[in-house]
Amino acid sequence: MPKCTIDGKEIEVKPGENLITVAKRAGVDIPVFCYHPGLTVVAQCRMCYVEVEKMPKLQTACSTMAAEGMVVKTQSDPVVKGRAGTMEFLLLNHPLDCPICDKAGECDLQDNSYGHGSAYMRHSEERRTYVDVDMGPVIEKNMNRCIHCTRCIRFGEEVAGIHEMVAIKRGNNIDITTIDGNPLKTEYAGNYADICPTGSLTLRDFRFRKRAWMLKKTATVCEGCSKGCNMEIQHEGNVIYRCVPRENLEINKHWMCDEGRFNYHYTQDPTRVLTPRSGEATIGWENAIQNLKDLTDGKKITFLVGSDLTQEELATVQEYINAYQKGSSIHHFGTDGVSESVDDGQADKILKMKSKTSNLSGAEKLGIKSISHLKTATDVVVVIRGGRADLNVALKQVQGKKLIGMGVFLEKEISTFSLVLPGLAFTEKEGTIINHAGIEQKIKRAIVPKNTVKAVSEVLMLAANKKAKEAVV
């Protein structure tokens, strides 16, 4: 394999690798703005200057391919001076308003200015100013902070498949905007805020709600569809403030859709049912478990399980049926029009899948059949869902039956249930899910659940204990 030398370290290079990637492997961080590993290279910010032996001028590392025998310096005097010059130029028009900027604490411009810029300014010209603009429901633009890196324009064209961001006018008057000032149309708009290296494009849902450095981060998987995009839940004080994509080149690369990004809101909905209910009355868990036993003991029951439950939860329900509800049936439900994984497929050309639940393949792997195979339901039906499975798909099959609900529900969803046993949302539990391509992944607990809700396994264990005890007596 060819080798090159970066800051005195010899390192092997793969064909087509640029100097930024090779340097990273060598433990050398080269500052960038316009370069993003998921977008084409345009080399226009000039932040990634390096010195390459035998080349007369400084080179941009993002657009220079590593080659055999190349000797690269990333910390030489010309490089340091070149980067400082770039920073000075980029900050000519910047308002330097980090204390009131939502990006502060996670801003490349702030970090690179601190690491490579100068503490002094040499100009006192008036800066250009623009007013903030809503670019639709997801993104707010503050053009004063823009450094014209064009990452957003390239994201739209190359990833979201929509040419909606453009640079109009030129020079000092340049403006990054949508065509004709229209609101952003893509269903992947949140990624604009992720990739903008400054506070120019920020998430309206997150703005001014929490400083970035206060957030704790939990690496998990989106439950929004069967794609299984990797994401991070960012939270503080047991409250989720935002979800952002995590790189997984095999599944979602660097991106996630807005539906998945904002899906977590239902878990914090003030109308989420958090205490057991018998009809409209709130009851304690002791009574709730007794009611569950009274309604199900010794009977054959139809169990409908959401394909939004984890493998562990589904397997627990199967074991419970085998041990305590012999002769009962179990079927999965999730998305209208997607009964089985053969009905699943791409919902768009980017990431979204038709199945709006995360574990359809997992339910099938456990041998659970779809609700479309349910012929006649028993008089009592137990519906267990994680929170994402479409209740209407289950309920239209079991109209007029006595319903017991377990899992996550909102007030408006429980009017037809006789008994509701509130459970854990995907943000509050650990478990395994299997995506549409058969890739097994783990979801992680980010939030400590309220002590009035219980895991499916705990509810079934309490019910089993009660049955066992009463059998002895």
Interface residues with ligand FES (CB under 6 A)? Answer: 32-35, 43-48, 60, 62
If one asks whether residue 21 binds ligand SF4 (CB under 6 A), the answer comes out as no
Nearer to ligand SF4, 158 or 470 (CB): 158
Residue with tokens 């079934």: 460
Residues 139-164, buried b or exposed e (16+ Cβ, 10 A)?
A: bbbbbbbbbbbbbbbbbbbebbebeb
- Looking at 4, 149, 317, 360, which residue binds ligand SF4 (CB under 6 A)? 149
Q: How far is the CB of 257 from ligand SF4 (least distance, A)?
A: 3
DSSP class per residue in 225-280: STT--EEEEEEETTEEEEEEE--BTTTTBT---HHHHHGGGGGG-TTB--S-EETT
Nearer to ligand SF4, 82 or 260 (CB): 260
Structure tokens at 420: 């509701």
If one asks whether residue 244 binds ligand SF4 (CB under 6 A), the answer comes out as no
Residues numbered 390 to 419 that lie near ligand SF4 (CB under 6 A) are none
Contact 72, 41 (CB under 8 A): no
Nearer to ligand SF4, 13 or 244 (CB): 244
198 binds, among ligand SF4, ligand FES, none (CB under 5 to 8 A by kind): ligand SF4
Nearer to ligand FES, 86 or 357 (CB): 86
**Distance of alpha carbon 428 from alpha carbon 267, whole angstroms:** 9
Q: How far is the CB of 228 from ligand SF4 (least distance, A)?
A: 6
* DSSP classification of residue 455: -
Let me know how many helices (H) and strands (E) the chain has, helices first.
Answer: 11, 23
Show Cβ contacts of residue 340 under 8 Å, excluding neighbours closer than 6 positions: 360, 364, 370, 372
Q: How far is the CB of 194 from ligand FES (least distance, A)?
A: 17
- Looking at 93, 150, 307, 359, which residue binds ligand SF4 (CB under 6 A)? 150
Contact 243, 231 (CB under 8 A): yes
Nearer to ligand FES, 45 or 176 (CB): 45
**Kindly report the CA angle at 300 between 296 and 305, in degrees rounded to 5?**
80
- Looking at 94, 103, 148, 331, which residue binds ligand SF4 (CB under 6 A)? 148
If one asks whether residue 198 binds ligand SF4 (CB under 6 A), the answer comes out as yes
Residue with tokens 């869902």: 385
What are the CA-CA distances from residue 152 to residues 146, 174, 231, 254, 357 (Å)?
Answer: 11, 14, 20, 14, 30
Nearer to ligand SF4, 186 or 457 (CB): 186
Q: Mask 245-284, x = binds ligand SF4 (CB under 6 A)?
A: -------x---xx-xx------------------------
229 binds, among ligand FES, ligand SF4, none (CB under 5 to 8 A by kind): ligand SF4
Nearer to ligand FES, 111 or 319 (CB): 111
First to last CA, the chain: 75
Q: What is the dihedral of CA 355, 359, 361, 363, to 10 degrees?
A: -120
94 binds, among ligand SF4, ligand FES, none (CB under 5 to 8 A by kind): none
**Distance of alpha carbon 63 from alpha carbon 207, whole angstroms:** 34
46 binds, among ligand SF4, ligand FES, none (CB under 5 to 8 A by kind): ligand FES
Q: How far is the CB of 181 from ligand FES (least distance, A)?
A: 27
To which H or E segment does residue 361 belong? Answer: helix 360-365
If one asks whether residue 91 binds ligand SF4 (CB under 6 A), the answer comes out as no
Nearer to ligand FES, 89 or 294 (CB): 89
Residues of the shown chain interacting with ligand SF4 in the complex, contacts defined by CB under 6 A: 146-152, 176, 196-198, 200-201, 222, 224-225, 227-229, 252, 256-257, 259-260, 351-353
